[in-house]
Amino acid sequence: MQSRRDQFFPNTEVLGKDEMRITALGTGRPFLRPAQANAGWLVELGNGDKFQFDFGYGTQTNFGALEIPYQQMTAYFATHLHTDHVGDFAQIWIGSWTGGRTKPLEVHGPSGPLEKYGMKHFVTKQMESYAWDTDTRVGLLPAVGAEVNVHEFDYSKVHVVYDRNGVKVTSFPAVHIYDGAVSLRLDWNGLSFVYSGDTTPSYFFVENAKNADVVVHETFNTKDQLMSRSGYDERSAIGIGSIAHSDPVEAGKVFEMVDPRLAVAYHFFNDFDTAPEMEAAIRTHYQGPLALARDMMVFNVTKEEILTRMAVTSAHVWPNKENREGFKNARRAERMAMSRWLADRQIFPKF
Ligand SMILES: [Zn+2]
Ligand SMILES: [Zn+2]
């Protein structure tokens, strides 16, 4: 670890060969607010690989602020098909393309008990519905950028779903309202990151998160907070906060059973007046190292230590301009031809 600065400034630190860097791209709840996007986690490895786990709404705004070339992203993984986990699909696809990606997008995600609940169906239908978008762009941008390789894997098994370049990603079932959701674990170079997605406390999670370095587990706000701050009645608060999700006492129990090097709680509105109650609830069971996630929290992980900081970024960010030769030289498709009557009304004729 090179830097001992108190904040993380993008593109000022070389990631060590043995180091893992995890960035919280989105830590909030299904409705968006400026402070917290929907769910998303970036994992960068010392071997050059970069993965994003979940791509909920708003996560790509935060990703952009990190000034990482889109071309450098290795693959995207989804835990399940709730909008707060996959709502930014159009951004990881089209946004990254206009921002410099010149290879197909690689998307991994779970199957469902029916075909219509699986990742393949989701991506195919999203792509179909954006036909006007991609057909109008392929003549102007590298045509290959419109392509998506979908890798759908069985949601119901505990199995390795990605194994390349020394990186293993294991999927295991999450218990979240209905069949089809998964949690994911990444192992590389003796370091590991486990991400619950959405789940109620489960033995699947405890068994598969064992011996992990950084364990990110969901928890919604406390029942009182959901009622007083979100305006839910008691039945709704219980349904949302602990039938569909883990409440903070329950999440703390999971952390206690897993006993990670660092526990990270996310998926709640983390404010000065909610955090103390959240932490107290988690501490009912768990006394170990804990971070209450906020967007753009950065974790540098090595065998020796885990350093937690906040990223300092620009709001007026532009795409990273490294290695644009590929973009310049990539093949374009034939441009769409608009109707003559429409083209003839141009003040500066381009078509
Ligand atoms: Zn969900
Ligand atoms: Zn969620």
Per-residue pLDDT tens digits for 277-294: 999 999 999 999 999 999
The reported pTM is 0.97
Q: How confident is the model at residue 3 (pLDDT cuts 50, 70, 90)?
A: low
> How many other β-carbons are positioned within 10 Å of the β-carbon of residue 17?
10
| Residue 2 in this model has a pLDDT that exceeds 60 | no
Q: What are the φ/ψ torsions at residue 119 (nearest 5 degrees)?
A: -60, -40
pLDDT over 70 percentage in the chain: 99
**Coil, strand or helix at 329:** helix
Ligand 1 mean position, distance from CA 123 (Å)? 17
- Measured distance CA(258)–CA(247) in Å, rounded: 17
Q: How confident is the model at residue 198 (pLDDT cuts 50, 70, 90)?
A: very high
Ligand 1 mean position, distance from CA 131 (Å)? 27
Tell me the ligand closest to 28's alpha carbon: 2
- pLDDT tens column, 39-86: 999 999 999 999 999 999 999 999 999 999 999 999 999 999 999 999
| Residue 219 in this model has a pLDDT that exceeds 90 | yes
Ligand 2 mean position, distance from CA 107 (Å)? 18
- Given this model, what pLDDT does residue 108 score? 99
Ligand 1 mean position, distance from CA 91 (Å)? 19
Domain ranges of the chain: 7-343
| Residue 87 in this model has a pLDDT that exceeds 60 | yes
Say if residue 211 is exposed, middle or buried (CB neighbours under 10 Å; 0-12, 13-18, 19+): exposed
- Measured distance CA(29)–CA(241) in Å, rounded: 11
- pLDDT tens column, 117-130: 999 999 999 999 99
Ligand 1 mean position, distance from CA 205 (Å)? 16
- Given this model, what pLDDT does residue 48 score? 98
Q: How confident is the model at residue 181 (pLDDT cuts 50, 70, 90)?
A: very high
Tell me the ligand closest to 80's alpha carbon: 1
Ligand 1 mean position, distance from CA 178 (Å)? 10
Mean pLDDT for all residues in the chain = 97
Tell me the ligand closest to 175's alpha carbon: 1
Whether the CB-CB separation of 265 and 282 falls below 8 Å is answered with yes
Q: How confident is the model at residue 305 (pLDDT cuts 50, 70, 90)?
A: very high
Tell me the ligand closest to 38's alpha carbon: 2
Tell me the ligand closest to 54's alpha carbon: 2
The H-or-E segment that residue 53 falls in is strand 50-53
Residue type, 299: F
**Coil, strand or helix at 95:** helix
Ligand 1 mean position, distance from CA 198 (Å)? 5
Ligand 1 mean position, distance from CA 197 (Å)? 7
Range with the lowest mean pLDDT among 159-168, 223-232, 257-266, 319-328? 319-328
Ligand 2 mean position, distance from CA 3 (Å)? 33
Ligand 2 mean position, distance from CA 71 (Å)? 27
Ligand 1 mean position, distance from CA 350 (Å)? 46
Ligand 1 mean position, distance from CA 309 (Å)? 27
In the sheet that 191-195 helps form, which strands lie side by side, from edge to edge? 159-164, 167-173, 182-188, 191-195, 214-218, 262-266, 290-292
Mean pLDDT (whole number) for 250-261: 98
- pLDDT tens column, 326-349: 999 999 999 999 999 999 999 999
Ligand 2 mean position, distance from CA 14 (Å)? 32
Ligand 2 mean position, distance from CA 266 (Å)? 10
Ligand 1 mean position, distance from CA 146 (Å)? 27
- Given this model, what pLDDT does residue 146 score? 98
Q: What are the φ/ψ torsions at residue 161 (nearest 5 degrees)?
A: -110, -5
- Given this model, what pLDDT does residue 5 score? 83
Q: What are the φ/ψ torsions at residue 125 (nearest 5 degrees)?
A: -70, -35
Query: Which candidate, 194, 197, 187, places its Cα nearest to that of 209?
Result: 194
Ligand 2 mean position, distance from CA 42 (Å)? 16
Give me the CATH topology for the region 7-343.
Metallo-beta-lactamase; Chain A (3.60.15)
Residue type, 295: D
Q: Token pair for residue 309?
A: 């900081």
CA distances from 302 to 22, 196, 232, 306, 309 (A): 11, 21, 42, 6, 15
